């Protein structure tokens, strides 16, 4: 495959844009989490630095940079140093296969708003996302601290238990869309499932795989170590879990990996169950309205469509990011035996049953 200058430029621009977005996830989410939790608890939250307290994240970053980057004497220096990198690199890599818009024809080139439409898309995301646990295990092991080790052990066992139901819940979606290419999955959800008079119900994953969606989102919560499944960091039991011995920028990297993982999780939920870049209800009418209001011609209309698609994807992902925060400040932490009980005795049989029911419905020709 040869690439000309135009394609290389487009690719570089896409990568640059996504990396910038992913780098800003952590500071923005830190703000959302602080202010959101405060409002839910009838407080105001930090609101002094900058408008609405938005610059606290910047202060955090400055603080993290200027803190002494000190490693305690009892750690395994090599693994201790590379562990944050090992956890953040897979988090960034996964986003390469997520489509955040459809395509546009510029001249004689088709620009696809996805970095790589891999043939193994979904499997690539799953496999790279599983690599993230190595970083956590390395953190816990190299810290030479029993609490950190306990945290990383919990994390790894939790990931193994929930990755099963995560993968199995996706099999239902793969069966329905007959593809593991994320671009195809997102594109397939543009069809209409049901037409009820003026109301069109699109063929989004949530409407054809509701049980799969519930299993998937629960498993994502466990995979990203968010409450109610944040046992790896259970501060009341094991101090701070796997990042106990970390400070300064290394700690910031670990936090960032956590938030980027959340972002990837939200993007996966959006792509598979909420139509990816497909328009939100009302956006189709909005694009027609804007098109006629500014009397746009063919090419400008296409760009407007792409812009609306990207913003639709962004809104959906933003909602799920908010959902992570919302659930975090609503539900208490699970006990460890409850977590394992839910994973193995509820989620696993349920996801298997979901596959059988989906297969049966496909056999009957319902979906």
- Contact residues toward other proteins (CB under 8 A) are 36, 39-44, 214, 326-327, 329-331
Residue 271 or 354: which CB sits closer to other proteins?
354
Smallest distance, other proteins to C-beta of residue 330, A: 5
Cβ closest to other proteins, residue 160 vs residue 331: 331
Q: CB-based contacts of 206: which residues, under 8 Å, 6+ apart?
A: 213, 273, 274
Alpha carbons 164 and 159: distance in angstroms, whole number: 9
d(C-alpha 130, C-alpha 182), whole Å: 18
Question: In whole angstroms, how far apart are CA 77 and each of 80, 146, 239, 248, 252?
Answer: 5, 17, 22, 16, 18
CB of 233 to other proteins, least distance (A): 21
In the chain, the N- to C-terminal Cα span, in Å, equals 37
Instruction: Quote the Cα angle for 40-44-47, to 5°.
Output: 135
Rounded to a whole number of angstroms, the CA Rg of the chain reads 22
Q: Are 206 and 273 in contact (CB under 8 A)?
A: yes
- Closer to other proteins by Cβ: residue 260 or 342: 342
Minimum separation from the CB atom of position 43 to other proteins (A): 5
Q: Which residue, among 282, 297, 185, 272, has the nearest Cα to 220 in the 3D structure?
A: 272
> Minimal distance in Å, beta carbon 151 to other proteins?
24
Least Å distance, CB 181 to other proteins, is: 31
Cα–Cα distance, 32 to 28 (Å, whole number): 6
**Least separation, in Å, of the C-beta of 40 and other proteins?**
5
Pairing of strands 199-202, 103-106: unpaired
Our CB check for other proteins shows the closer of 146 and 335 to be 335
Q: How far is the CB of 28 from other proteins (least distance, A)?
A: 18
Choice between 214 and 352, CB closer to other proteins: 214
CA dist 169 and 350 (Å) reads 9
- By beta-carbon proximity to other proteins, the closer residue of 326 and 336 is 326
Residue 136 CA to residue 253 CA, distance in Å, equals 12
Tell me the closest approach of the beta carbon of residue 78 to other proteins, in angstroms: 43
Which of 217, 238 has the CB closer to other proteins? 217
Query: Which tokens in the block code for residue 289?
Result: 């309205």
Q: Residue 347 to residues 33, 123, 214: CA-CA distances in angstroms?
A: 28, 20, 10
Nearest to other proteins of 154, 328 (CB atom): 328
């Amino acid at each position: 495959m040869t690439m000309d200058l135009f394609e290389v430029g487009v690719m570089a621009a896409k990568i640059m844009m996504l990396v910038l977005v992913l780098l800003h996830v952590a500071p923005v989410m830190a703000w959302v989490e602080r202010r959101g939790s405060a409002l839910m608890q009838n407080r105001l939250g930090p609101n002094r630095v900058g408008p609405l307290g938005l610059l606290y994240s910047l202060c955090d970053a400055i603080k993290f940079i200027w803190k002494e980057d000190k490693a305690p004497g009892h750690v395994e220096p090599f693994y201790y140093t590379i562990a944050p990198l090992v956890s953040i690199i897979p988090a960034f890599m996964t986003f390469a296969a997520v489509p955040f818009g459809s395509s546009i024809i510029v001249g004689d080139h088709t620009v696809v708003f996805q970095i790589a439409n891999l043939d193994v898309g979904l499997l690539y995301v799953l496999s790279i996302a599983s690599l993230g646990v190595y970083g956590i295990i390395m953190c816990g092991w190299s810290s030479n601290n029993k609490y950190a080790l306990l945290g990383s052990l919990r994390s790894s066992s939790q990931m193994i238990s929930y990755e099963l139901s995560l993968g199995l819940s996706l099999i239902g979606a793969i069966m329905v869309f007959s593809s593991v290419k994320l671009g195809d999955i997102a594109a397939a959800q543009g069809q209409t499932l049901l037409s009820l008079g003026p109301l069109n119900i699109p063929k989004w994953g949530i409407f054809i795989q509701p049980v799969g969606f519930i299993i998937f989102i629960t498993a994502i919560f466990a995979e990203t170590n968010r409450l109610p499944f944040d046992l790896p960091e259970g501060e009341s039991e094991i101090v701070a879990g796997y990042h106990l011995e970390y400070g300064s920028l290394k700690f910031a990297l670990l936090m960032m990996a956590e938030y980027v993982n959340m972002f990837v999780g939200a993007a996966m939920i959006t792509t598979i169950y909420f139509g990816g870049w497909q328009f939100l209800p009302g956006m189709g009418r909005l694009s027609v309205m804007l098109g006629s209001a500014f009397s746009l011609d063919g090419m400008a209309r296409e760009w407007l469509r792409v812009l609306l698609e990207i913003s639709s994807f962004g809104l959906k992902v933003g909602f799920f990011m908010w959902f992570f925060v919302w659930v975090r400040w609503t539900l208490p932490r699970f006990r460890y035996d409850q977590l394992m009980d839910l994973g193995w005795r509820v989620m696993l049989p349920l996801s298997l049953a979901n596959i059988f029911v989906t297969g049966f419905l496909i056999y009957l020709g319902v979906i």
